[in-house]
Every structure is written in C-alpha cells, then in structure tokens.
Structure 1
Amino acid sequence: MKKTALLLLLIFLGSVLLQLVLPWWSVGPLCLVLAAWLRVSGGGTFLAGLLGVGLSWWLPAAWLNTHGANLLAARVATLLPLGGQPWLLVLLSGVLAGLVGGLAALSGALLRRAAGPRNAVPAA
C-alpha cells in the first residue's frame, strides 16, 4: 500500500511537470518507467496510474472550465456527442487520460515481471 501511494504521488507530480513542456502522450512512458522501477503489484499499479494521470488532467481542466474556458469546452462538447455539456467533456478527458496512465503503468509492472528472474525448474 505504501509503494502504491508513492507511485501515485510520483506519477501525479511527474505528469503535471511533463505536461507543461511535452505533449500529452509523454505521461505513458513516465508511468511505464515509474511502475517498472518501483515494483508495485498489478492492481495497485493500474490504480496509481489511473488516479495519478487522471487527476493531473482533470484538476486543471475543471479549474479552467470554472474560470472562463467553459465557452470553448461547450463548443467542443457540441462537436462531440455530449449534448454541448462542458462538464461531460472534462470528465471524459480525465477518464481517457487516466486510462492511458493506468494501462501504461500496468504495462510497466508486467514488463518488470516478464524481465525478472525466473524460478529454476529442477531437471528430472
């Protein structure tokens, strides 16, 4: 549990900083490397990636939506089948970003497990 919370915090802070200077997809390699480095279990890794990246995407989007950017969000939500609801667009973008982070973190944990040492099978 402690490693999962540390992974969540590192993913959140890293994705906030990376998204300031790099494209949106830069959170994928970040989650993959951090999950492989910290050796967290599969379910905890996915949850840390989902919440870390999802919150780092959703919090600024929600703040911008409440402080004047809701006109642009409403126009984009009109283009998508969201009924022109800007909050649905904010929620959807947070969920999609969280899924990218969660799947990348899970991939890192599984990659670490696949590359790890194998148990020796005694010869018969």
Structure 2
Amino acid sequence: MSTSLKLFLLILLLGSIAQLFLPWWSITPVAFVLAFWLGRRGWGAFLAGFAGIGLGWLGMAAWLNIRNDGHLSHRVAELLPLGGNGWLLVLVTAVLGGLVGGMAALAGVWLRQALMSSRASAAR
C-alpha cells in the first residue's frame, strides 16, 4: 500500500471519528499530524487531505440531507447564491472541508521538510 493511500485512509477514518466528538476544526490537527508523520511530498499530502476530509464531509452532509428530506439544506441554499439547490450546498460543503484538510496536510509535510532540511544544515 502506498504512503499516499495510507495517509488518505487514515485522514478519512480519524477525521471522521474526531468530528463525532470534537468541533468541526478538529480535522485540521488530524490532517496536519498525520501528514507530518506519513507525508513525503506536498502534492500527495494535499490530495490525501483534500480527498480524505472532503469525502468524509460529503458523506456526512449527504446523509444529513437525505435524513431531513433536504429541507434544511434547501433553506440555507436560499440564503446563499446557490438558487435554493440543497445538493449544491452539500457539494460546496465537501469542497470547503477538503480545502481545509488539504491545506492542513500540506502544512504538515512542509513543516517536516523544513525540520529535516534544518537538521541537514546543522549537521554540516
């Protein structure tokens, strides 16, 4: 199993579990720490964070939308420039969550790379 796939699955699983008990922003430290630990490249970590959190949010938002027959998402979508389309709001929610997860994972990999390069510079 590749490192990016493992990172994606861990972010999806642990991010979804964390959101059951913690606030919505708990996805940020989860993606950051996992990418710091497992991430190797920035692009792969960003995609793993984006897909992991985005799919988690898409699943949860779709499930909640189906459970209440789309009434709440329709009302919120009317307040935003979405034309009252509740499913478009679900998609926008997933993209926003994915961006937060992807940026957090990217920051984790970048911190790891910065620390590794500073260690290499100190060793010289």
TM-score by length of 1: 0.92
Count of residues in correspondence between the two structures = 122
CA–CA distance in structure 2, aligned partners of residues 75 and 114 of structure 1: 45
CA–CA distance in structure 2, aligned partners of residues 121 and 27 of structure 1: 35
Deviation of 1:120 (Å) = 6.9
Greater fraction helix: 2
Runs of 4+, deviation exceeding 6 Å: none
Letter in 1 for 2:28: G
CA–CA distance in structure 2, aligned partners of residues 121 and 61 of structure 1: 49
1:29-108 map, 5 Å: 29-108=29-108
Deviation of 1:96 (Å) = 0.2
Q: Deviations over 1:8-60 (max 9, x none)?
A: 00000011100001000010011110000113211110000000000110011
Q: Match for residue 20 of structure 1?
A: 20
Q: Find 1:118's aligned residue among 113, 117, 120.
A: 120
Deviation of 1:66 (Å) = 2.3
SS of the counterpart of 1:118? helix
- The structure with the larger Rg is 1
Letter in 1 for 2:37: W
CA–CA distance in structure 2, aligned partners of residues 121 and 36 of structure 1: 22
Q: Match for residue 9 of structure 2?
A: 9
Q: Deviations over 1:46-105 (max 9, x none)?
A: 000000000110011112222324101000000111110001100000000000000000
CA–CA distance in structure 2, aligned partners of residues 102 and 38 of structure 1: 14
Runs of at least 5 residues in structure 1 that lack an aligned partner in the other structure: none
CA–CA distance in structure 2, aligned partners of residues 92 and 77 of structure 1: 10
Asked whether the equivalents of residues 4 and 39 of structure 2 are also in contact (C-alpha less than 8 Å), the reply is no
Runs of at least 5 residues in structure 2 that lack an aligned partner in the other structure: none
CA–CA distance in structure 2, aligned partners of residues 89 and 53 of structure 1: 16
Aligned-pair identity in percent equals: 52
